[in-house]
């Protein structure tokens, strides 16, 4: 039985047409689910009883569960329990521009980035579209506010779950549904070159972020397994292709690891690599964990790295750091809970 929260408007329209009903029924259902937040067919008014029974017999309304959450200033980290008793995370961040939610797209991750807590627990499976949709619904219900920005940058590699992620975006972007604009949605990838090129042909204006984390192949191969599959040259060419097709600016994420990728030399090499590309760099101070040996770059060197990029003409920002009372690293809350 399919979960109703995982169906795009087109899929619902096709379903109702297939049972001899009108396709406008899909609009009604979306409004019940996402505007009125009804989670039971019995609450659907103006729907014939035979159609209600059909929906009951063919679709599930099951929701994932909030298992626990951690709060600190301007941040809430959620741990969700899924129907198969697996766990995923979402992180809600209060910014001056709105409420941003970072969601998971997989249970575990097979990309194997050595600095990442999520990668320590191998991929169990992809998340279905409904399990991503419900992360938003449950957080909004919990805080009684609307999410304004979404980042698919939690546990998992979104482009390793490409079809489900694309359907998820269609569901939350629909004006009759959650109605989250594509310009407020960002997908982060560690660099699956073939999927970046495919993504360039998708409709909408979803933002693309690249987890780069190194200025050359030598360093990148030491910390990111994907670098053994795709070189930085291949990655940059794919990004240039994406920009030429979409005319959209790309973000390069760069986690600073002490004595690994944070030297002045690395900063100059990074500037040279990205010069002339319609992109900006988001510097990320590292969240240390007990399980991984990497250390956070000291503030003075973060500033030096930032200043070098700025001086070399690269647009650069430093990611805002939130409170230390939550298990901040991606996958850390899930990992600690599983213990």
Active site residues: 89, 330
Q: Which two tokens stand for residue 301?
A: 């060197």
Cα-Cα end-to-end distance for the chain: 32
Distance (Å, whole) CA 270 – CA 274: 6
CB 91 within 8 A of CB 320: no
If we measure between CA atoms, which residue out of 77, 76, 91, 89 comes closest to residue 121?
Answer: 89
DSSP 187-201: EEES--HHHHHHHTT
Cα Dmax for the chain:
69
Report strand pairing: 65-72 vs 98-103: unpaired
Other Cβ atoms closer than 10 A to 139 = 22
Q: Going by C-beta distance under 8 Å and a sequence separation of 6 or more, which residues neighbour residue 194?
A: none
DSSP 205-264: --EEEEE---SSHHHHHHH-GGGGTS-HHHHHHHHHHHHHHH---EEEEEEEBTTTT-SH
Q: DSSP strand E in the chain: where?
A: 2-3, 59-60, 65-72, 75-81, 87-95, 98-103, 106-107, 125-126, 149-152, 185-189, 207-211, 250-256, 279-285, 316-318
Q: Going by C-beta distance under 8 Å and a sequence separation of 6 or more, which residues neighbour residue 45?
A: none
Angle separating helix axes 264-274 and 299-311, nearest 10 degrees:
30
Distance (Å, whole) CA 116 – CA 118: 5
If we measure between CA atoms, which residue out of 188, 189, 266 comes closest to residue 222?
Answer: 266
């Amino acid at each position: 039985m399919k979960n109703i929260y995982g169906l795009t408007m087109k899929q619902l329209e096709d379903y109702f047409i297939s049972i001899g009903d009108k396709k406008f029924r899909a609009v009604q259902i979306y409004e019940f689910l996402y505007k009125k937040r009804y989670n039971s067919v019995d609450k659907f008014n103006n729907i014939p009883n035979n159609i209600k029974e059909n929906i009951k017999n063919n679709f599930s309304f099951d929701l994932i569960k909030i298992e626990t959450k951690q709060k600190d200033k301007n941040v809430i980290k959620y741990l969700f329990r899924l129907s198969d008793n697996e766990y995923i995370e979402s992180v809600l961040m209060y910014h001056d521009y709105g409420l941003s939610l970072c969601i998971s797209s997989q249970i575990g991750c097979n990309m194997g980035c050595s600095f990442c807590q999520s990668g320590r627990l191998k991929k169990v499976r992809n998340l279905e579209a409904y399990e991503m949709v419900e992360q938003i619904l449950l957080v909004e219900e919990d805080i009684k506010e609307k999410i304004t920005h979404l980042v698919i940058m939690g546990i998992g590699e979104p482009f390793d779950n490409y079809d489900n992620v694309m359907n998820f975006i269609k569901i939350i972007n629909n004006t009759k549904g959650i109605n989250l604009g594509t310009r407020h949605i960002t997908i982060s990838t560690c660099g699956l070159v073939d999927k970046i090129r495919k993504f360039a042909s998708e409709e909408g204006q979803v933002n693309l972020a690249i987890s780069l984390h190194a200025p050359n192949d030598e360093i990148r191969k030491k910390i990111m397994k994907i670098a053994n599959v795709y070189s930085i040259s291949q990655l940059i060419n794919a990004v240039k292709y994406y920009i030429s097709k979409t005319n959209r600016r790309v973000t390069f994420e760069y986690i600073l690891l002490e004595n690994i990728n944070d030297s002045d030399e690395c900063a100059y090499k990074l500037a040279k690599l990205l010069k002339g590309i319609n992109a900006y760099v988001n510097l990320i101070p590292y969240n240390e964990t007990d399980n991984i040996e990497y250390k956070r770059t000291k503030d003075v060197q973060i500033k030096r790295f930032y200043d070098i990029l700025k001086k070399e003409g690269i647009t650069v920002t430093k990611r805002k750091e939130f409170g230390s009372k939550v298990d901040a690293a991606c996958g850390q809350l899930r990992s600690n809970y599983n213990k």
